[in-house]
Structure 1
Amino acid sequence: MNKKVAFYTLGCKLNFSETSTIARSLVKEGFDRVGFDEKADMYVINTCSVTENADKKFKTIVKQAQKSNPQAFIAAIGCYAQLKPEELIAVDGVDLVLGATEKFNIADYVNDLSKNVMGEVHSCEIQEADFYVGSYAIGDRTRAFLKVQDGCDYKCTYCTIPLARGISRSDSLENVLKNAQEIAEQGIKEIVLTGVNIGDYGKGEFGNKRHEHTFLDLVRALEYVDGIHRLRISSIEPNLLKNETIDFVAQSDRFVPHFHIPLQSGSDALLKLMKRRYLTDLYVDRVKKIKEVIPNCCIGVDVIVGFPGETDAHFLETYNFLKDLDISYLHVFTYSERDNTEAATMEGVVPKKIRNKRSKMLRALSVKKRRAFYESQLGAELEVLFEGENKEGYIHGFTENYVKVKTPWNPELVNTLHNVRLKEIAEDGIVTIGFVNAEVIA
């Protein structure tokens, strides 16, 4: 009987892509992959360190694994494992902690899966994380997350990612295209490009700093991968989102009209404290350029509330900046102190109660923004990729410009693309549709 392994992933799309690659490597070693709620011989938890909650959740997940099998071997990998391995190994039941470079060779560390009397830590100095491991995740039958870049050379004062993932480095163009072709051959219709700082693509290929290719080279090459119907750019820094890329997406047959652009604050004073590489003027310019050439484009925004020194006036500056901007939704992050970051030592700490209040205000603004964007699309004829789950008698999907839609459940629609007309916004905020014709696009 093959040993069984189960995975739990915290955090970003990049973590999901790496979990999938590590899982495939263990399957090649003779493991059978099972769900995390099933009994397994080994549980692997891919950790995140971006927020306090991700840290706290780890213990709960370990207990969940122990409930399924008290004798199971438990391994922790990922960003939190790199930053604070001693904290993770101290959690009761954890046998192995692997850092940024070791996680991709997990099979070399697990031996016979007998519980360790003393937990083992194998964690490199982050300067040693100077090589690149390509990966991709197939989250469901409709879309895949394709990692193209890792690490970051930026020094944002609130962020631990450079400490957890090392310097910026990229996959070779050849390998990205190979992975994209493998995804296409599995019948996946959409690829989401992911990385820590994907606009930096081409920098540090295999640990050096030669600029072999640019991000624009990458998107141009992916346009010609057979079998992929949609390509979506995940988060990209405003200073790295060039006019040429926006213009390319505007005329592309495959790259969809959807950008997610981190802002973090609408106050120039705070952007400077955060050591971001742009000010609000540049951000406004990027949004205007996108809307000029792709009027129906969906634009998502990351924003942090409660950063040290954020006064009521700074927050209102951010709130009004976002209110007046032609964007579609927000991802709101409540600032949490992270060890070994510059921001953790800054003055002007914002009380948690105020952070939470500001977070609620921006989340409410996000709901209004999303609704206004959906309303602007009603009556439009768009293309929907349907997903694979029956949710209370409905099948859901997303248009190319990221409007969430639903129609009564029909298993034949799963992983198919259809032309539809957007009808109205239902009580749950999801858009109902009518089919333009019965033909399947793909």
Structure 2
Amino acid sequence: QINESFREILNEPWLERHLHIAIQHSSDAMLRLMNRRNRIGSDIELFSMLHDKGFALGTDFIVGHPGESDAIWSEAMENVRRLHLTHIHPFTYSKRDGTPSAVMKPEVNGTVAGKRMSELSALIEANNRAFRAQVNSPLEVLVESGENGRYSGYDQYFNKVVIESAEDLCGDWITLEHYEVDDDYNLAKH
């Protein structure tokens, strides 16, 4: 978790503006079932503070864990909306023999888990696009790959940026003042 030492550096200009904090779920009932120490109230408080400081926020999320009822899922989605997430690594629960979760009931149907995964992913994709649209500062991009005049990399918010350029930009750090927000990435010309 984020301790006071880490909080002290949150305003440093050299710190990238994306944080990935694994919370696993956004329902206290599920967090207890998963034997997690965090609780959603303090997670929301932390994520709100980080959001107010301009950070893009990501997390891991387990969908379809045994015991995840429709009511719990509704609560979880309401809490996800309050977390200001812009990135997510969602996983569908997979049973592992010998773990406490392997014998928990009721199990969540795979089709239901898939629908929940889609719902969660769609929400975070919309959040990400809205976040990218409201960023009001230049993007610092490390260009990782490219060919045929199209290059890509990630900015300080861990968002993909596609850059059209006649020159080879691979391996360069570039600053982009002007760019367009597309559905899945930001687009710029250099």
TM-score (norm 2): 0.91
User: Alpha carbons of 1:325 and 1:405: their partners in 2 closer, same or farther (altered >3 Å)?
Assistant: same
CA distance in 2, matches of 1:252, 1:327: 22
Letter in 2 for 1:430: Y
Could you say which residue in structure 2 is the equivalent of 1:369?
127
In structure 2, distance between residues paired with 1:333 and 1:388? 27
CA deviations 1:396-438 (Å, max 9, x no partner) are 1211122211111445311111221242123x52212255xxx
1:416 and 2:176 matched: no
Q: How does 1:276-425 map to 2 (within 5 A)?
A: 276-292=36-52, 294-295=53-54, 297-377=55-135, 379-390=136-147, 393-410=149-166, 412-425=168-181
Counterpart Cα distance in 2 of 1:420 and 1:394: 15
User: Take 2:126 and 2:4, find their aligned partners in 1: how far apart are those partners?
Assistant: 28
Give secondary structure in 2 for the equivalent of 1:263. coil
CA deviations 1:256-280 (Å, max 9, x no partner) are: 1111111221111110010101100
Q: Which residue of 2 aligns with 1:270?
A: 30
Change in 2 beyond 3 A, CA 1:425/1:376: same
Name the structure 2 match of 1:247: 8
Structure 1 alignment gaps of length 5 or more: 1-239, 436-442
2-side partners of 1:313 and 1:346: how far apart? 18
What's the Cα RMSD here? 1.9
AA aligned opposite 1:362: L
Conserved? CA contact 1:266–1:322, under 8 Å: yes
Larger radius of gyration: 1
- Deviations along 1:175-218, one digit per CA (max 9) or x if unpaired, are xxxxxxxxxxxxxxxxxxxxxxxxxxxxxxxxxxxxxxxxxxxx
The answer as to whether partners of 2:51 and 2:57 remain within 8 angstroms in 1 is no
- Spell out structure 1 runs of 4+ moving beyond 2 A: 409-412
CA displacement at 1:374 relative to structure 2? 1.1
Give the TM-score normalised by structure 1: 0.41
Distance 1:252 1:420 in 2: 17
What residue is the counterpart of 1:160 in the other structure?
A: none
Q: 3-state SS of the aligned residue for 1:264? A: coil
State the Cα distance separating 1:338 from its structure 2 match: 0.8
Deviations 1:34-63 (A, max 9, x none): xxxxxxxxxxxxxxxxxxxxxxxxxxxxxx
Is residue 2:184 matched to residue 1:429? yes
Please give the secondary structure, in 2, of the residue aligned with 1:413.
coil
Deviations 1:224-265 (A, max 9, x none): xxxxxxxxxxxxxxxx22132133142152x31111111221
**Pair 1:362–1:251, CA change in 2 (3 A):** same
**In structure 1, the residue corresponding to 2:66 is in which secondary structure?**
coil
Deviations 1:375-394 (A, max 9, x none): 112x521211111232x641
The one-letter code of the counterpart of 1:248 is: I
Does the 8 Å contact 1:250/1:257 carry over to 2?
A: no
Secondary structure of 1:269's aligned partner: helix
Q: Aligned pairs, how many?
A: 190
**2:153–2:161: 8 Å Cα contact kept in structure 1?**
yes
Any residues of structure 2 matched to 1:81-160 within 5 Å, and which? none
Contact 1:249 1:256 survives alignment (8 Å): no
Equivalent residue number for residue 27 of structure 1: none
